Amino acid sequence: MRRLLPVTDMTATETAAGPAAEGGREWSFDELADAYAYPEGDGVWLRANMVSSLDGAGQHDGRSQPLSSDTDMRIFGTLRGLADVIVVGAETVRLEGYRPARAREVFAARRAAAGQGEAPVIAVVSASLDLDFSLPLFTSPLVPTLILTGAAAPADRVAAAREAGAEVLVAGDGAGVEPARAVAVLAARGLRRQLTEGGPRLLGQFVAAGVLDELCLTVSPTMTAGGAQRIAGGPSVAVPTRFQVASVLEQDGFLFTRYRRI
Ligand SMILES: NC(=O)c1ccc[n+]([C@@H]2O[C@H](COP(=O)([O-])OP(=O)(O)OC[C@H]3O[C@@H](n4cnc5c(N)ncnc54)[C@H](OP(=O)(O)O)[C@@H]3O)[C@@H](O)[C@H]2O)c1
């Protein structure tokens, strides 16, 4: 792994740690966790982690895995290891076969020191609650899975979710969730280090609501052509939201970028 930005007096060392053509040595989970630490303090912070092809595709054949790499998955795991809660849209849960978050030994001490439970909570955003509640995500997570929905959610589906062991939280007055309210509802439960893993329709709403603080974007050195979704969808914002680059890492041609909202 090479750090391209910010350039520090460590950059040369990190680059020299292995042949540049091979991208240097692999970073440990501890080093990755330091690099991706949430801001100090007790404020709420919503970061997204997404991968995109060079031509802007956020998925291929309905999944993001064809765009990913081993290092991307290490960073994916690290961001989970740092988070209190993972917020995800129902379609991503359905298409990607979401499983409960694991307790990982590599992050155990760090999580304990930060006052976090052994694994992050998964919060699924859904209006229909058309989810398979017999899946391990709902029946056997380490910490009960949350479902964020609107006040008008179908009562039978709410009952089915609760019966399976999920906790249903209302974060909208109508059928759907209001993105800023979702952030606030989670924060009120002490879940302030927030991570969203999309999908694009959900991420677009966080962007439009002005509540996305940070984007961890993996630029995958691939092109897919076709009509795949971009990483953020839905109605566009009136004025493009500006972000500034916080860091760029590189491994095997993949760029692991991190941007913060200005
Ligand atoms: N490139 C990446 O990093 C990345 C990351 C994640 C996913 N993906 C890909 O993205 C695709 C899925 O993403 P997607 O954009 O189609 O769907 P999505 O954002 O994962 O989920 C959309 C669903 O979430 C629920 N939802 C979204 N906004 C809501 C709101 N305000 N209130 C209530 N419910 C809401 C609805 O569920 P109900 O229908 O249940 O009401 C909606 O159908 C997959 O192909 C996946 O592989 C890519």
Q: Which amino acid is at 1?
A: M
What is the rounded CA–CA span in Å between residue 232 and residue 199?
8
Q: Tokens at residue 180, please?
A: 């800023």
Ligand 1: nearest atom to the Cα of 148: 33
- Number of helices (H), then strands (E), belonging to the chain: the values are 9, 10
pTM of the full structure: 0.95
> Ligand 1: does its nearest atom lie under 6 Å from the Cβ of 205?
yes
Output the CA 3–ligand 1 centroid distance in Å: 32
Q: For each successive 10 residues of the chain (262 residues), what is the average pLDDT? A: 81 50 77 96 96 98 96 98 98 94 97 97 98 96 96 98 97 97 98 97 97 98 97 94 96 97 95
Output the CA 247–ligand 1 centroid distance in Å: 27
**Model confidence pLDDT, tens digit, residues 124-163:** 999 999 999 999 999 999 999 999 999 999 999 999 999 9
- Protein residue with its CA nearest to atom 43 in ligand 1: 91
Ligand 1: nearest atom to the Cα of 231: 1
Of 178, 176, 174, 145, the residue nearest 162 (C-alpha): 145
